[in-house]
Every structure is written in C-alpha cells, then in structure tokens.
Amino acid sequence: MADGTLDYKCPNCDATLKFNPHGQNWVCEYCRSSFTREELDAIDIKKKEVLTKETEADSLEKDEEGMDIYMCPNCGAQIVADENTSATFCVYCRSTAILKNKLVGKFNPSYVIPFHKTKEDAMEAFKKIGKGRPFMPKEFSSKKNINDIKGVYIPFWLYDFSIQGSITADANRISTWTSGNYQYTKTDTYRVYRDGNMVFHKIPTDGSTRFNDEMMNSIEPFDYSGLETFTHSYLSGFLAEKYDVDGPVAQKVAEERARNTATSTLRESVHGYNTVSIMNANHTINLLKQDYVLLPVWMLNIKYKDKMYLFAMNGQTGKMIGDIPIDKKKVVFWWIGIVLLSFLIFSLIWWIGGLA
C-alpha cells in the first residue's frame, strides 16, 4: 500500500496544523502555536522535495469498487478516496490527508484563494437562513446536520481573453403626433453598427462535474485580488477536489460567457432608439492566459424525504445560497391550531353572550 499522503505537523509538538481563515495563518490546536506563510514555506519546500522523489514510485492500491486506498500519516489507518479527491480527512483521527499524487503535474494548481470564513461563520450563516421560517423541517435545524458543514476547495479555471467584436442591429425610432382628429405614427428604421476591442480578466469556469455549475455561479463573485500562490499547506483542515473538466472544454464555456458579455456591452452603447434588435454578432477571441486554481466553498448536504438539499457559501465573501423546503405536516398542524383557536374564541364569545 502506498502512503501517498502529505500532512503538516507542528514543529513544537508534532500535532497536525490547520489553516485558520480569520488569522490567515496556521495553528496547532494542541500547543496553541501559530505559524505564518513564510514560516511554513521551509516546511513546504521539504514536502515538495519528498513529493518529487516519490511521485513516480507511488503505486496505489484500489479496493473492489476501484477506490484509491492510502495510509493516514498520523495513525496509520486506511483512507479511501475516489479519483477526483485531492484532500480529505482520516475518519479515525480526523487528521487532514493531502493526497500528494493527485496534486502534481497538470493537476498542480497555480493559485488558491484561502478560506476567509470559518466553519462557525458558515454555521451561523446557515442558521440565519432558517430564521423566520416556521415551516422549516426539523432536519434543517438539527445541530448534528449543521455541524456536518464542510470546507471544500473547488477546482476552477480562470481565463483572460482579448476580443475584437462587432454587432449589426436594426433600430427603430418611433414618433407620434396628432393633427386634427387624427393621430399619426412614424417609424424610422436604421441599420446600426458597433465594434470595439475588449479585454476580460479571470473569467471563472467550474472545473468539477460533481458540483452544480448553476450553484457555483450563484456564489460568485470571488475577489481575485486575494489569489495566493498555491502551496499544499492551504489545504490543511479542508477537503479538496481536482478538476475533471479539462482546460479546452472549460475554455469553451468561458469563451461563451465572454462573447455574451461583449455583445451586451456593444448593445448598451446603442442609444436613442425605441427598439433595437441585434441581427448579427461577430467576435474574434484570443486566449491571453489560463490558470488552474482552487476556490473556497463551505458546503452542507441535508437529506429530507429521499432528496438531498445542497447549501453552499462562498468561503471568501460569505455569500450563501440554498433552498429550504416546507414541512407539510407543520403546515397542517398550524392550520389545525388556527381552527381550534378560532373555535375556542367563538365559543367564549357565545358563552359570554349567553350569560348576558
């Protein structure tokens, strides 16, 4: 069995170090030591040297279902992960297991946005969603379920493009006037042309098929000024995925977003008409830069009536999305309570009226 894992140990007590989103540093939960990025760089360099030496020799075992088997560097227990998982936890000692052979070569990210929101921040944000929802199922207020929220680094591609674009549109200018008993309408039609050069920076595309693209788009934007050069130490204490959507495939998605934005921008430059209909749009796109990055997301899955409800929070900005269903039993009991209360009030009024 291959070891295949990396772990960051406290130099003072050898316990596992975890990244602290609030302090943007690494802390030891046992001896309370803390370390900066600079202080960990020396450790990280040594890890990379080990990584380089061992990668080619690493031969993973697989279980009967084809899952990869690793050894926990802390307690020696088996860690089972699928082909896209690059950082996980040991179920026995809860140590972070960074699966080193998943983060090399083309799968080695260029940059990462570290978590800025803690698990406690994510839990509080989720609880706020439930406030003022009397018909929320009890599963969504369960401490056990809420405590299961996890921080995951999601793989994304970032693209820089330059675009030479143009649109041709039919535009109408409508004027009306009244003369005597008649009202007149005049429609002037024009052929409008616009062109321009634009540069787009860091258009994101989800690099994982396991996460809903619509949900990932909904928790944008990320502040890309917060990108840091990737080191494995940022994964300590969190889960992580590697991409399974290749760069060329993701690039087509990003190009489509750039085209749509370019068309919209050129359309917005057309003023003074009552209606504008775009007849043709031509764009020449040049790729300037492509980066593979990891972005922080807090995720919570709650099962209710055989359906999974997913909640996601931007681990940098705190933006959270997700839908909470209605417990129909609570609705029924609520109406029964209203009916009983109304009956009691009516009976009391009738009784008082009878006494009078």
The residue among 339, 323, 320, 343 whose CA lies nearest residue 331 is 339
CA distance 272 to 257: 27
- The model's pTM is 0.75
pLDDT, average across residues 33-40: 81
| 43-47, 193-197, 292-296, range with the lowest pLDDT | 43-47
Q: What is the pLDDT of residue 74?
A: 61
In tens, the pLDDT along 239-295 reads 888 888 999 999 999 999 999 999 999 999 999 999 999 999 999 999 999 999 999
Q: How far is CA 355 from CA 341, 342, 348, in A?
A: 21, 20, 11
The residue among 170, 159, 169 whose CA lies nearest residue 195 is 169
Helices (H), 33-190: 37-54, 119-130, 143-146
pLDDT, average across residues 143-163: 89
Q: How far is CA 35 from CA 11, 24, 79, 233, in A?
A: 10, 9, 27, 11
User: Has residue 132 got a pLDDT over 80?
Assistant: no
CA distance 213 to 125: 22
CA distance 239 to 86: 8
Q: In this prediction, what percent of the chain has a pLDDT beyond 70?
A: 75
Tell me the pLDDT band of 51, cut-offs 50, 70 and 90: very low
Please enumerate in sequence order all residues whose Cβ is within 8 A of that of 323, keeping only pairs 6 or more positions apart, or say none: 309
Rounded to the nearest angstrom, the gap between the alpha carbon of residue 112 and the centroid of all alpha carbons in its chain is 13
User: Has residue 226 got a pLDDT over 90?
Assistant: yes
User: Has residue 1 got a pLDDT over 50?
Assistant: no
304, 322 Cβ separation under 8 angstroms: no
Q: In this prediction, what percent of the chain has a pLDDT beyond 90?
A: 35
Q: How far is CA 126 from CA 21, 119, 146, 150, 183, in A?
A: 18, 11, 8, 12, 59
